[in-house]
Structure formats: C-alpha cells, structure tokens
Amino acid sequence: MGALCAAGVVGVDVSPTLVALAQKHFEAVVADAADLPFSAGSFDLVAAFMALQSVEELDRAVAEAARVLQPAGRFCFAIAHPIRTAGTFEDGDFVIAGSYLERRTRELTQGRFWRKVTLPAVHRPLEQYIGALQTAGFVVQALREPRLGDGGPWVRVPHSVHVRAVRP
C-alpha cells in the first residue's frame, strides 16, 4: 500500500527487503496494511496496487485506509479480478474450481512473456471488497473491470478491478 499527503509519498509493505529497495527513492516503512503506523487523517490519498488480494485481514486493512485518510480523501486500489482468483482457463474453457462465492487461499501467477511471478492470493467474491468499503464508511465513486487486449483467452473475462472510493 502507499499513501500520499502534502509532504509526499510514503510506501508501506510487510517485506523489509522491498521497503529497503523503495527507500532508495522515497519514504517507506515496514508495516501491515491492517495496522498502519500513521495518525488519523494523515493522508489525502491511499493507493493499493495488486496488494489487497494478498491481505489476510481485508476488513481491517480497509478500515485502516479510512482511518488515515482526511475527510474527502480517496482510496484507490486495483486487485486481480475475483473471477481470475476463482478459476483459470483449461483447454480454452474457463473453469472455476469450487465456488466463486467462497473465500479461499490460492496461488496466483502474475506477469507474461519472459517474467512470471507466483504469489499467494486470497480469493474473495467482489461483494466482500465492496462490503469492506461500506463497513469502513467509504462511498464508491468508480469501479472498472479492464481486460487484457491481446486477443488471448483473458480478453473474455476481466483481468482486474480498479476502484476509487472516497471517505465522506
């Protein structure tokens, strides 16, 4: 996750190695998204790019984003689309192992061509992300479901979800 205020950008990650690399370019701290080390109302923007699907305590992480935001502050995040964490293509058909509606942990492969990374991911249906926003008091301003445009199988289903929510 990251946050922005008049003073600049502050990065947050649970990995000391990644934080050390980030600190070469901007301020960064080792912390859990569910327990941010910042005062209430410290930021006007919190951003999380492809991170929330790896957070075990989603409700607490979203509540922490709300806590550290100023009134009218925005929380913007992108996640792997829950349809993507629910299933995969097998011989051209999209197959969901188990139920889309049930939370479960799985590995998700990110990247294409020459560099691929496998990361742990928590599959949650989209309503759980929206529910966490509502519980934390956010109002969703925008939700987009981009797809990959290379003509491959992923052009048939959304690749990710991008959300902009505001703290009233």
> Which own/partner contact pairs does 11-19 have at CB distance under 8 Å and 24+ positions apart?
12/36
Task: Check residue 11 and give its pLDDT.
Answer: 93
Q: What are phi and psi of 154, to 5 degrees?
A: -70, -5
More confident residue, 72 or 2: 72
- Alpha-carbon distance of 166 to 77, in angstroms, equals 12
All structural domains of the chain with their residue ranges: 2-81+124-166
Asked if CATH classification 3.40.50.150 holds for the domain at 2-81+124-166, the reply, yes or no, is yes
Residue 2 in 3-state DSSP?
strand
Q: Which two three-digit tokens encode residue 26?
A: 């901007």
pLDDT tens column, 46-65: 999 989 998 999 999 999 99
Comparing 19-23, 36-40, 95-99, 135-139, the range with the smallest average pLDDT is 95-99
User: Rg for the chain (alpha carbons), in Å?
Assistant: 17
pLDDT band at 121 (very low <50, low <70, confident <90, very high): confident
Is residue 5 predicted with pLDDT exceeding 60?
no
Q: Percent of the chain scored above 70 by pLDDT?
A: 89
Taking all residues of the chain, what is their mean pLDDT, rounded to a whole number?
88
Mean pLDDT, rounded, for 24-37: 95
Is residue 2 predicted with pLDDT exceeding 60?
no
Q: Which of 5-14, 32-41, 103-112 has the highest mean pLDDT?
A: 32-41
More confident residue, 14 or 119: 14
pLDDT tens column, 133-148: 999 999 999 999 988 7
Mean pLDDT, rounded, for 154-160: 83
